[in-house]
């Protein structure tokens, strides 16, 4: 009987210990298997009537940082510790649960409650200064934009052009296009090129030349100015085109850019054997960040066109900017020469149309 009395407590301890061990194991397995929990959940992604978005792809060098701006609450707009894994979330959809953002004490920031395709809920932090929900620093794009990207089919720059738009992309709120000639251009540029080309009979040669131009549109007076692209922080002599719905015109601009004022009042051109000295001209002046620029901008005369042609055709093209005490000799770069030729070709096509 004594041995029986000693064995019973031991047996009881073994049974209880086994139960405790089983309970701990079950608890551990439960917390370590969130995927299994999600599979058993009753969540249904229902974006009906709501504004949807997509986690957009990032450049390879940025993927390691994941996605930010998805915060668990409205206490701080800097929730970097809550970055979402790039491989897990790229391409995932979500929707804004409300049109109006939640209340917050952070001026300039809006906290939108969002629901993701996997059932997770966050506050998406938007900054109006950077373009709002789909601005320049946003990790998401609208579902509409996403569908435009994935459903895009190659198309010509304009009808009849040999240059094709082969793909499009949205990065940090801006859409761009890759062309068959290797160039990448913005959505705004494509729209401007097509608008200008339509003004001149959709001539494909005009559209193709415009790819190497800078186009500025005056919305108020409906005027366009087309100039060669390239670095503007340098001395130059260039032709550029202006037009509206009634006429097309050509202008000639000569600009000195440097560190010190010259107070330019004339200039001389040396283009191989060609020489020409301008009369006295009123130059405008401005400066910023330690640099100065002085320029003359006027309607192009026959002599201006002759000078521009000489500069564009010469092997060595020099402009001497004459000041009240000093002068500066500036060489015209090859891309600047090419810009003059392209503007003249474009102007001829526009006048012909």
Q: How deeply is 140 buried, as exposed, middle or buried, from its count of CB atoms within 10 A (0-12, 13-18, 19+)? A: buried
168 has which bridge partners?
177
333 burial (CB, 10 Å; 0-12 / 13-18 / 19+) is middle
Q: Give the pLDDT score at 173.
A: 67
The phi and psi torsions of 78 (rounded to 5 degrees) equal -105, 85
Residues of the chain with pLDDT under 70: 1-41, 172-173
Mean pLDDT (the chain) is: 88
What is the bridge-based pairing of β-strands 155-156 and 70-71?
A: unpaired
pLDDT for residue 41? 61
pLDDT at 34: 37
Q: Taking a C-beta distance cutoff of 8 angstroms, is the pair 258, 235 a contact?
A: yes
Q: Where are the domains of the chain?
A: 52-145, 152-200, 212-352
Summarised one tens digit per residue, pLDDT across range 227-262 is 999 999 999 999 999 999 999 999 999 999 999 999
């Amino acid at each position: 009987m004594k041995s029986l009395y000693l064995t019973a407590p031991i047996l009881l301890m073994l049974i209880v210990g086994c139960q405790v061990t089983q309970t701990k194991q079950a608890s551990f397995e439960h917390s370590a298997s969130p995927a299994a929990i999600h599979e058993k959940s009753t969540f249904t992604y229902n974006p009906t009537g709501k504004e949807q978005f997509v986690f957009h792809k990032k450049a390879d060098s940025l993927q390691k940082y994941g996605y930010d701006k998805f915060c668990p609450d409205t206490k701080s707009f800097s929730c970097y510790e809550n970055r979402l894994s790039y491989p897990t979330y790229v391409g995932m959809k979500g929707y804004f649960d409300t049109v109006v953002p939640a209340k917050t004490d952070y001026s300039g920031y809006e906290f939108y409650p969002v629901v993701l395709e996997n059932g997770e809920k966050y506050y998406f932090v938007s900054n109006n200064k950077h373009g709002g929900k789909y601005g320049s620093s946003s990790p998401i794009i609208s579902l509409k934009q996403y569908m435009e990207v994935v459903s895009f089919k190659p198309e010509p720059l304009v009808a009849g052009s040999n240059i094709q738009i082969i793909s499009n992309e949205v990065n940090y709120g801006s859409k761009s296009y890759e062309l068959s000639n290797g160039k990448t251009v913005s959505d705004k540029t494509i729209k401007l090129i097509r608008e200008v080309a339509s003004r001149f009979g959709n001539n494909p040669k005009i559209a193709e030349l415009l790819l190497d131009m800078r186009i500025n549109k005056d919305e108020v007076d409906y005027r366009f100015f087309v100039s060669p692209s390239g670095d503007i922080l340098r001395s130059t002599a260039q032709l550029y085109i202006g037009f509206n719905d009634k006429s097309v015109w050509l202008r000639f601009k000569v600009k000195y850019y440097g560190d010190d004022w010259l107070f330019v009042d004339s200039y001389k051109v040396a283009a191989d054997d060609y020489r020409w000295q301008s009369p006295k001209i009123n130059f405008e002046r401005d400066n910023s960040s330690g640099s100065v620029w002085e320029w003359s901008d006027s309607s192009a005369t026959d002599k201006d066109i002759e000078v521009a042609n000489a500069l564009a055709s010469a092997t060595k093209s020099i402009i001497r900017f004459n000041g009240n005490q000093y002068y500066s000799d500036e060489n015209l770069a090859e891309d600047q020469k090419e810009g003059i030729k392209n503007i003249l070709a474009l102007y001829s096509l526009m006048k012909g149309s």
